[in-house]
Structure 1
Amino acid sequence: MEVAGLVLGALPLAIKALNSYRSILSSLKNVKRDLDFLVRDLETEHQILQNTCETLLKGIVPDSRLDEMIENPFGADWRGFDDQIRLRLWRSHSAFQQRLTEMHGATKELQQMLAIQEDRKTKLTDARSILNEIKHRTGFTLKKKDYTSTLTRIKEGNSVLLKLTQQNNELEPSRRSRSQAKVARLIRQLSRSIFNALRGAMTCSCAKIHNIGLELRRRAVGWASAFSTNFKPGKDATSSTTQTLLQAAATSILPATTTFVLPTVTDLCQLVRAGKSTAADCYGLVTDVEHKFELYPQPNQTEARSFVTLRQVLKESEKGNLSPPFGYPEQLKLALALSTSVLHLYNTPWLARIVTLDDVVFLRETSLNYHSPYQPFVTKDFPPQPNSQPQQMHPLLPGRLRPMDLTVLSLGTLLIQIITGRRIADLDLDLGGSGSGSGSGSGTNLNSVLSKKEAASQLAGPVLQCGGMNYESAVQWCLGSILGVAGLEDDHFCQNFYEGVVARLEADSRIQQR
């Protein structure tokens, strides 16, 4: 965007120079008339380009900085935001840049023709010097016809930039929506790979009593994930429970700039127990069949953390014992993180088929104080051997001829309890005593599911009162989608889930952050 700033800044310099020459040569009517036309045309093109830049940057640049950028086109802020602009322009980015480069060349010609110096000032300040410059034919000119070609390039380029910006801004919401299924597939694949890589590095004899937690948050392709690994001491351990936060990031696919080779982690349990001196030190690599991940200790980690479930948080919230309070901002943030994670982690080792109040956990440092207030995790045990077949996430219930989406139903019931800030026994899904959310359970039959759906629907009023229209609509979408044939394994359903649930919560979250 730096080139756009240079073009945007060059036009007012040309207008200022023309106004100066017009004032000095006001007695020459033919010259004044030509300069009037040039000033009018350049002012119009400047306004169009200002509006184009503002439209293009809206939603990318913070509102508090946008006006300042437009008014200060030569400022340092114009050197940023290239990645976001490239994403917004999509396939049009190359054409946009080409037109912008052509306009930049035209404005440089304009500055030369108007004798504007490197310091952005005109060297001609009186009638005699202006007329002498014209007489010696140095390239300086004030005839309108001499500017026709340059102005045409500016006008045509400006028109193309405006059209491309308007079209891409209109298409961006649709593109984001259409891309959700692709993003979800990529993140699911990567999250499975991370789980398998960490499981492969857990070779200790006490692996069965270890579990690993994944932070629930909105993720993008190329994301880095924060993991919480909870190590319970084995029989031969001499120390107390060690709880360490690890950060796993996918290694870059670009060629390495150094010859340093990271070691492969073969015993994660022993490595974490030994610890590292600083958070900048890398433990080494954990690997899956297709990916390698660098493993780091979490910055500013503290010991003596414990996990508490969402059920426990709601219980304490009902009593008014939480610090900080579990209020609307925290509830909305949790609801968005959970909904996005259901989309991104579906049919992976991280997410149960039925998500319950006991599956979502938080890190707590003291009796009632929470680390990164109410940042949610899901925790999983390490299975002894990889499953040969992926878990059936959308099974048939007894006596049914088609599947029922219990994942979306369980999300809807959780969203209700989160926003109302209380546990609701009628919304607990009966898992037939499995307690893991992974089995169909004898109690999870059609009548039971419809009963839960009816109980949840009757809470529309409290949900609307506590969460607002978008939140209530997201809940109703979940409740209304459980009887469809398709589920979150279907791309079209994923897109609809994003629009019906995630996008609505994102809209409220953006308002909350203003």
Structure 2
Amino acid sequence: MKGVSTIQSFRVYKHGLKRLIQALGTEYVNLQNVYERLLVGIAPSHRIEAMIDDPFGELWREAQLLGRLRLRLWRSFKNFEDTVHDMREAVQEMMEKLGIGPDGEVEWIEHTSIRRQYKRVSFILQRSNYHDLLTRIREGVSSLQNMAIMNVNMESDRILRSQVRLNQLVNVTSNNIYHALRSTMTCRCQRLHEVGLRLTPPSRTIVPQDSDDDVIKELQFRLIISHMGPLATPSVRQWSEVLLQSARSQVREEPTTPLATKSSSSKKSVKFSVRSSVSSTNEFMQASAIIQPATATFSLGSAAMPVDSGMPQQIRDLCETMQTTEKRRSGDNCGHIQDHMSAKPSEYGVYFMDCLGDCENYVLVPLKDVLRDQSNGTLPPMLYSDKLRLAWVIACSVLQMQETPWIPSCPTHDDFYVVQKGGVPQYQNGFVLKHLPDRGGPGSTSTSTTSSARPTLLSLGIILIELILGQPLESLQPQDTPASQLSPSYEAANKFLGRVNMLGDLGISAPCNVVSVRYLKARTRRVS
């Protein structure tokens, strides 16, 4: 009779085990839903399921995705990480109390009498042994759910604030870089040097925890500079590409790998086995998998950059330095330039990247000429992907560098350039162009020459319309249009915006519409 009673009691504890498995299974599903909510919209759709099955695995460590996660989680990034690790510790403690070894096997199964096993089970499966730990897991999942929901709901406003802050830092830094270039390009060459700044879309995510100095350290500016060839062939003018980055980032620790892993020597899986119930073992192993993925912690790695060898020297004459580029390897530090006009003097490291060729085969062509040649058939029409890419980088650059020496407050198609190599336009990158040395006075750096009746957003909208239509706006107007009305205006831009909408090209017509609507609202407010 005692044996029968023992078996009946053993079944009672089996039911307790089943309830524990169900509770963990529920939290596991809830946690998967948290991961899904966190990933939708920032991770590729075809990868989401794999990332849910392997949280914080290799796919989570990509730099681009990590930046999006930081932006989405905003101030709760560290709290999210800490909560996941607290849940991991709770499950590990539960494994220890339930007698589950590192290999997932139950350690208390003995080849002895069933009564001794019963006594062991009755002690291990007492509710008080794991109730607090289960509560920690439930509260952790609930906290993650709340963080995910609230952060996703506020993401759109945060993206705007992050972008505005980044634009301000790029604006200040690009302005300082121009003055640093201007102060070191003081040669007496008969021909001015052409300095083209490559336009790039934002690639940095800013959250409240990031300091301005840290962001500026990671900003990189690529320039192409025309200069005389080596001293042996001084008559040949060439193009060289250099990279400029804050010199404050030169002395730094070795870059860390994004999403640095803090993991144990072996990847643990949870397995609970009772000889009388194999099915319960598999269920518990799946339910307890919430511990398995939480083996990594977030840490933002350093941006890739050239490595310095020793303390770089200050460049006194950039023209002379550029003539020695053929002797350098890609990534070599040429020295640093200084900006003394800002309230806080700045230094920028100059890194040689590549020799691009001579100025006869490698030319910067104004966007206006490209559009004109396309409209008259001299050049083939620009591909849709090229239009979209140029529209994106031009729009971003106008917002980032408006009213700096690089871009005037009211830019036009004359202010942007593309590379023409061997007579063939290269639409992969856009550029803005300056000529140095600037032999004018201190006020000569101002490039805002357009009428104040053409605010920045209207000017940008006109450029986007011209890009999608493939023609300068002036050439789209009737031939009998009076000369006084040929200058692009809001009315003309709004008229041709209808043609953009008829094309159904939402990739560019959408921002054109946004620009026009914002300008119309602003003008209406001024009138009222």
Whether TM-score is above 0.5 comes out as: yes
What TM-score comes out, normalization by structure 2 length? 0.72
Name the CA distance, whole Å, in 1 between partners of 2:424 and 2:143.
58
Say if 2:168 is the partner of 1:117: no
Contact 1:112 1:140 in 2 (8 A): no
Residue aligning to 1:206? 189
Report the Cα offset of residue 79 of structure 1. Answer: 5.0
Say if 2:314 is the partner of 1:264: yes
Name the CA distance, whole Å, in 2 between partners of 1:252 and 1:119.
49
Name the CA distance, whole Å, in 2 between partners of 1:112 and 1:130.
22
Contact 2:227 2:238 in 1 (8 A): yes
Judged with a 3 Å threshold, the aligned counterparts in structure 2 of structure 1 residues 78 and 352 are, in CA distance, closer, same or farther, namely closer
Judged with a 3 Å threshold, the aligned counterparts in structure 2 of structure 1 residues 321 and 147 are, in CA distance, closer, same or farther, namely farther
Name the CA distance, whole Å, in 2 between partners of 1:60 and 1:107.
29
Name the CA distance, whole Å, in 2 between partners of 1:98 and 1:74.
13
The 5 A counterparts of 1:30-429 are: 30-73=12-55, 75-79=57-61, 82-123=66-107, 132=116, 135=119, 141-206=124-189, 209-219=192-202, 220=204, 221=215, 222-231=218-227, 238-253=234-249, 255-256=251-252, 260-275=310-325, 276-289=327-340, 290-299=345-354, 301-303=356-358, 304-318=361-375, 322=379, 326-370=382-426, 373-382=427-436, 383-384=438-439, 387=442, 391=446, 404-425=453-474
Structure 1: give runs of 5+ residues left out of the alignment. Answer: 1-24, 398-402, 429-442, 487-514
Name the CA distance, whole Å, in 1 between partners of 2:455 and 2:322.
37
Partner AA of 2:495 in structure 1 = Q
Name the CA distance, whole Å, in 1 between partners of 2:223 and 2:521.
34
Contact 1:106 1:154 in 2 (8 A): yes
Name the CA distance, whole Å, in 2 between partners of 1:265 and 1:131.
85
Report the Cα offset of residue 69 of structure 1. Answer: 2.2
Contact 1:264 1:285 in 2 (8 A): yes
Contact 1:286 1:294 in 2 (8 A): yes
Residue aligning to 2:262? none
Contact 2:180 2:339 in 1 (8 A): yes
Contact 1:133 1:140 in 2 (8 A): no
Residue aligning to 2:494? 457
Judged with a 3 Å threshold, the aligned counterparts in structure 2 of structure 1 residues 74 and 394 are, in CA distance, closer, same or farther, namely closer
Judged with a 3 Å threshold, the aligned counterparts in structure 2 of structure 1 residues 369 and 336 are, in CA distance, closer, same or farther, namely closer
Partner AA of 1:180 in structure 2 = Q
Contact 2:10 2:118 in 1 (8 A): no
Cα RMSD after superposing both structures: 3.5
Report the Cα offset of residue 393 of structure 1. Answer: 5.0
Name the CA distance, whole Å, in 1 between partners of 2:463 and 2:88.
55
Could you report, residue by residue, the CA deviation over 1:106-131 in whole angstroms, capped at 9, with x for unpaired residues? Answer: 01112223333223444467896997
SS at match of 2:239: strand
Name the CA distance, whole Å, in 2 between partners of 1:280 and 1:461.
48
Name the CA distance, whole Å, in 1 between partners of 2:347 and 2:114.
68
Contact 2:391 2:508 in 1 (8 A): no
What TM-score comes out, normalization by structure 1 length? 0.74
Residue aligning to 1:501? none
Contact 1:88 1:168 in 2 (8 A): yes
Across the two proteins, how many residue pairs are aligned to each other?
Answer: 434
Name the CA distance, whole Å, in 2 between partners of 1:427 and 1:130.
93
Residue aligning to 2:212? none
Judged with a 3 Å threshold, the aligned counterparts in structure 2 of structure 1 residues 224 and 259 are, in CA distance, closer, same or farther, namely closer
Partner AA of 2:14 in structure 1 = K
Residue aligning to 1:17? none
Name the CA distance, whole Å, in 2 between partners of 1:114 and 1:326.
67
Partner AA of 1:152 in structure 2 = T
Judged with a 3 Å threshold, the aligned counterparts in structure 2 of structure 1 residues 358 and 454 are, in CA distance, closer, same or farther, namely same
Contact 2:390 2:430 in 1 (8 A): yes
SS at match of 2:312: coil
Partner AA of 1:90 in structure 2 = W
Report the Cα offset of residue 202 of structure 1. Answer: 0.6
Could you report, residue by residue, the CA deviation over 1:192-246 in whole angstroms, capped at 9, with x for unpaired residues? Answer: 0111111111121128711211112213443211111123689x98321211111
Residue aligning to 1:436? none
Report the Cα offset of residue 352 of structure 1. Answer: 2.5
Structure 2: give runs of 5+ residues left out of the alignment. Answer: 1-6, 205-214, 254-307, 478-482, 524-528
Could you report, residue by residue, the CA deviation over 1:21-56 in whole angstroms, capped at 9, with x for unpaired residues? Answer: xxxx99943123212211111111001111112222
Contact 2:240 2:355 in 1 (8 A): no
Could you report, residue by residue, the CA deviation over 1:138-183 in whole angstroms, capped at 9, with x for unpaired residues? Answer: x972334432111000000110011011111111111111333322
Name the CA distance, whole Å, in 2 between partners of 1:194 and 1:461.
40
Judged with a 3 Å threshold, the aligned counterparts in structure 2 of structure 1 residues 87 and 410 are, in CA distance, closer, same or farther, namely closer
Judged with a 3 Å threshold, the aligned counterparts in structure 2 of structure 1 residues 293 and 386 are, in CA distance, closer, same or farther, namely farther
Contact 2:200 2:397 in 1 (8 A): yes
Contact 1:229 1:245 in 2 (8 A): yes
Judged with a 3 Å threshold, the aligned counterparts in structure 2 of structure 1 residues 301 and 130 are, in CA distance, closer, same or farther, namely farther
Partner AA of 2:159 in structure 1 = R
- Higher relative contact order, structure no. (Cα contacts within 8 Å, ≥ 6 residues apart): 2
Residue aligning to 1:3? none
Name the CA distance, whole Å, in 1 between partners of 2:56 and 2:399.
42
